[in-house]
Amino acid sequence: MAGIIKSIDEFNDYFNQGTKHQHIAVGDLSRADLTLFDPINFNMYCVVLMDNNFGELIRSGEVINYKPGTLFTLRPGQVVQVNLNYNVKPRGWILAFREELTEKTGLGRDFYMFDYFNHDVNDALELSKSERGIILNCFSNIYSELITKPDYLTGHLLRLGIGQLLSYYKRFFERQFADRVRCDNKFQKKLETMINNYLSSGSAQQLGQLKVSWCAKQFNLSPNYFGDLVKKELNMSAQEYIHKKVVETAKYLLDTTEMPVNEIAQELGFNYPNHFNRMFRKMTGSTPLQYRKNISK
């Protein structure tokens, strides 16, 4: 069973350091108690810089591929562990901050931008030499503010520092994201072929309606990450693209066969024909029967 860190005080105990702020802490992994790397739920948001490879990294049961100098994130409730290589001393930094920090603050207002916390990508974020310098500077600024005598600007500056770090993470994440798209410029064609095969091979009738999660799994991506990729490449949501392909297939069957509408609905994975009719009408402005009549004219 995973341990749970319930407070910043408990987090700091792992680093033998005092608490400077009740919602924020920065830890040096080289000073961490090794029990920190047992399965543990940090119960807060974390950004982790792994400065060397000191063991197998597992988050929510999935192995995270990382190299020295890469970043990964945690959200509240995620369990993480490192199967330590005891011949290598851990090195790196971890920023931890509680959800309360985002309540009724500018950081909270902008937090929607940091959707990568929900992507569950299995590859850590790789950094160039200059990007690593920027990230280290962000960690340093936050840590320096934590150990500075507090005044009325302390909370504001800490939130600005965290917002800056998260914003740079967003920039570098999207750069890596764009690089992946460029490396696989046949993404749209592969996706289209995959969906067409699903709809024409009987898979929909056997497995049900095509889902975003199924498509994401075929690309070995999380649904959120896959959805962002589709949005970036096709300028529509993954769900909208799937519905578009389903309607295209339905139109083809309505035009070239005499299959009843109910059978077409079943062929495309719909358990209830009225759900199919509703989606078709929403996408085309007419019911399947009306569409077939117009075609026949």
Who wins on pLDDT, 186 or 12? 12
Cα–Cα distance measured from residue 71 to residue 69, given in angstroms and rounded to the nearest whole number: 7
Token couple for 44: 């807060």
State whether 192 and 153 are in the same domain: no
State whether 260 and 120 are in the same domain: no
Boundary-marking domain end, from 183, 206, 238: 183
Which range of residues forms the domain containing residue 166?
3-183
Cα–Cα distance measured from residue 202 to residue 198, given in angstroms and rounded to the nearest whole number: 7
Q: Looking at the 3D structure of the chain, how many domains does it have?
A: 2
pLDDT in tens, 42-87: 999 999 999 999 999 999 998 999 999 999 999 999 999 999 999 9
Boundary-marking domain end, from 183, 201, 216: 183
Cα–Cα distance measured from residue 136 to residue 138, given in angstroms and rounded to the nearest whole number: 5
Q: What is the pTM of this model?
A: 0.73
State whether 230 and 173 are in the same domain: no
The region of weakest confidence among 81-90, 155-164, 182-191 is 182-191
State whether 223 and 265 are in the same domain: yes
pLDDT in tens, 110-123: 898 898 898 888 88
| Mean pLDDT (the chain, rounded) | 90
The DSSP line for 150-186 is P-TTHHHHHHHHHHHHHHHHHHHHHHHHHHHHHHTTT
State whether 223 and 162 are in the same domain: no
State whether 112 and 205 are in the same domain: no
Cα–Cα distance measured from residue 123 to residue 102, given in angstroms and rounded to the nearest whole number: 27
State whether 165 and 249 are in the same domain: no
DSSP state of 44: S
Question: CATH no. for residue 248?
Answer: 1.10.10.60
Token couple for 29: 């992994």
Q: How far is CA 29 from CA 34, 45, 89, 117, 293, in A?
A: 9, 16, 9, 21, 69
Average pLDDT over residues 160-174: 94
Percent of the chain residues past pLDDT 90, beyond the cut: 66
State whether 85 and 208 are in the same domain: no
